[in-house]
Amino acid sequence: MYYIKKTFEISAAHRLSLSYPSKCERLHGHNWVITVECRSRKLNADGMVVDFTHVKESVMSLLDHAVINDVLDCNPTAENIARWICDRVEHCFRVTVQESEGNVAAYEKE
C-alpha cells in the first residue's frame, strides 16, 4: 500500500447552525490547516498515488477565501468539512481539519 499526506492552509469563513446559543452562529473566519491523506495499492501511470498539487488545488479552488456555508450543503462544522473533503479527493481515506490551534477534527473512511 502506498500513502501520501498533503498539508496546506486556507482562509475561509463560516457560521454554524447550532441547537444552543453560541458566538459561532455569527459569521467568522479561520486560517484552516487541512491535512489530506490518500492511499492506493497501485501507483498511477505517473508513479503517484495522486499528485500533491491536485490534492491541494481540488480543495483550495472551492474553499480558499470562501464562505464555506455557500459551498457545503450541510452545517459547516470542522467534522463535516473533513468528510466533505475526503469524499472529493481521489484515493483519500483521512482528512484532518484544524480551525484553530486547539480545535482539530478528523474524518476517516472505514
Enter the C-alpha cell of residue 94. Answer: 483521512
Interval 55-101: pLDDT, tens: 999 999 999 999 999 999 999 999 999 999 999 999 999 999 999 99
What single string gives the DSSP state of each residue in 25-48?
GS-EEEEEEEEEEEEESS--TTS-
- pLDDT for 39: 98
Q: Which fold has domain 2-108?
A: Tetrahydropterin Synthase; Chain A (3.30.479)
Q: How many helices (H) and strands (E) does the chain have?
A: 2, 4
Domain boundaries, the chain: 2-108
Interval 13-42: pLDDT, tens: 999 999 999 999 999 999 999 999 999 999
* pTM for the model: 0.96
